[in-house]
Structure 1
Amino acid sequence: MAQKAQKTLATRNTATLNRTHLLSLGINVFYLLLRTFIFTRKLLPYILISTPALLIEFWFERAARPAYTNNGNGQQELKKAGDDLEAKGLTEWMWDVLYWTWGVIVLVAVAGDWAWWLYGVVPLYSAWLAFSTFKGVRSGLMGGAGGAGEDMTSAGAATGQSKRQAKLEKRGGQQVKYR
């Protein structure tokens, strides 16, 4: 069974992409039907807010859709499994944006145009992630929580040593005996 992991990834990607496209279609049709027949909602914010979600879906389609080739026997052979849609990092963030966009569209369809403002959470969340990452990297480069003038033994005591470590340090620390 050659390329079992690749075939599994291709199957999982195909199912995920198909489910994503159907969900997106359903949510957008739901909004447009409610907008057309029941409520009067603004169309420009809908277009502006749904554009990132459509671009992300297009990106997922291009990067993760498996490619097959015919091998001459009438069977298809896996050429490329595509990128993993469950990857951490940027892919995970893109899924978050996609889900949040869908939620905002449904909320606007049901509650009203004021709900478009909830989409502002996405840039705020991104800015908070960038700030916390920068802050973590900066403190890592500066040597953690301890500053330049702070004594390391008092910093260790303040950061929660065990009782045994505190007693050993109080008696003079671990002594090395030379023969």
Structure 2
Amino acid sequence: MAGAAAKKQAVSNNKILRDLHTSSLVVNLFSVFLMVVFNRPNLSKFKYYLMFNIPLISSEYMIEKYGRPKYKENGAIAREGIDLRQEGLTEYMFDVMYLTLFCDVMVGVVGSLKVFYLLVVVPVFMVYKVAGLVGLWRQARGNQLGGADSNGAQSGGTGSSEGRSKRLVKMEARQQKGRGKTQRVRS
């Protein structure tokens, strides 16, 4: 028996998927209509139009595959699907879909497939995010190994306390104080 949260998520996912598929269908039919009736852009470029819609199609497929709730024969929820409102990769896939749909509309308005160059923003943004994550990982790894902190001072030594948290400075002071006591006892 599924809980109330699973039922709520299943209903939410069904609504999100229905809205997504409806908007995608309407926008693509509008764009194809403009291509056929007004020849904007030329109908011979339809294969390029399909090629530029690969990000939309693949993202929509993945969202559908993992977000669609599965039901048992008796109507009970077998699996509610992933939460389509979560942050992270799901959010980026929705951004890619919305950007592609925007480009589809602009192709009909402008009459050129060059609008799809806006899709270059996606890999550039991904590189930016990955570079930021790598930088954070290196910084955390360096601090964890006792390497240089953000000011270049050794965190394990007697470097300046600037750039370090007050808690860390107090802990190091207690450790130094404790070392002094143990050295006097041993002497």
Is the CA contact (8 Å cut-off) linking 2:34 and 2:108 kept in structure 1? yes
Counting matched residue pairs gives: 159
Q: Cα deviations across residues 71-118 of structure 1 (Å, max 9, x unaligned)?
A: 3xxxx2112111111122111111111111111111122112221211
User: How far 1:154 moved relative to its partner?
Assistant: 5.2
Q: Work out the CA distance in 2 between the residues paired with 1:17 and 1:118.
A: 25
What SS does the aligned partner of 1:79 have?
A: strand
CA distance in 2 between partners of 1:160 and 1:12 (Å): 43
- Among 142, 149, 152, the alignment partner of 1:147 is 152
- The aligned counterpart of 1:48 is 51
Structure 1: give runs of 5+ residues left out of the alignment. Answer: 162-172
**Post-superposition shift, 1:13?**
0.4
Aligned 8 A contact 1:146 1:152 in 2: no
Q: Shift of residue 44 of structure 1? A: 2.8
Aligned to 1:91: 90
Q: Which residue of 2 aligns with 1:106?
A: 105
3-state secondary structure, aligned to 1:87: coil
Match of 2:67 among 64, 77, 81: 64
Instruction: Read off the aligned partner of 1:37 and give its amino acid letter.
Output: V
Once superposed, what is the RMSD of the aligned Cα atoms? 2.5
Q: Is the 8 A contact 1:34 1:109 kept in 2?
A: yes
TM-score by length of 2: 0.75
> What CA distance in whole angstroms lies between the structure 1 residues aligned with 2:162 and 2:4?
52
Indicate how the Cα distance of structure 1 residues 2 and 50 shifts in structure 2: closer, same or farther if over 3 A, else same.
closer
- 1:29 alignment partner AA: L
Gaps of at least 5 residues in structure 2 are 144-148, 167-172, 182-187
Q: CA deviation at 1:149?
A: 5.1
Change (3 A) 1:40 1:2: closer
Closer/same/farther in 2, CA of residues 154 and 80 from structure 1, 3 Å limit:
closer
* Structure 2 partner of 1:166: none
Asked if the contact 2:69/2:79 (under 8 Å) is kept, the reply is: yes
2:76 is paired with a residue whose SS is strand
Is the CA contact 1:45–1:116 (under 8 Å) kept in the aligned structure 2?
no
Q: Say if 1:79 and 1:154 are closer, same or farther in 2 by CA, change over 3 A.
A: closer
Determine helix, strand or coil for the equivalent of 1:142: helix
Determine helix, strand or coil for the equivalent of 1:153: coil
**2:77 paired residue number:** 78
Using the TM superposition, name which of 82-91 and 18-27 deviates more.
82-91
* Contact map agreement 2:72 2:78 (CA 8 A) in 1: yes
| Per-residue deviation, 1:40 | 3.3
Contact 2:70 2:78 in 1 (8 A): yes
Label 1:27 to 1:160 Cα distance change in 2 as closer, same or farther (>3 A): same
**Corresponding residue for residue 130 of structure 1:** 130
CA deviation map 1:1-39 (0-9, x unaligned): 951000000000000000000000011001101111113
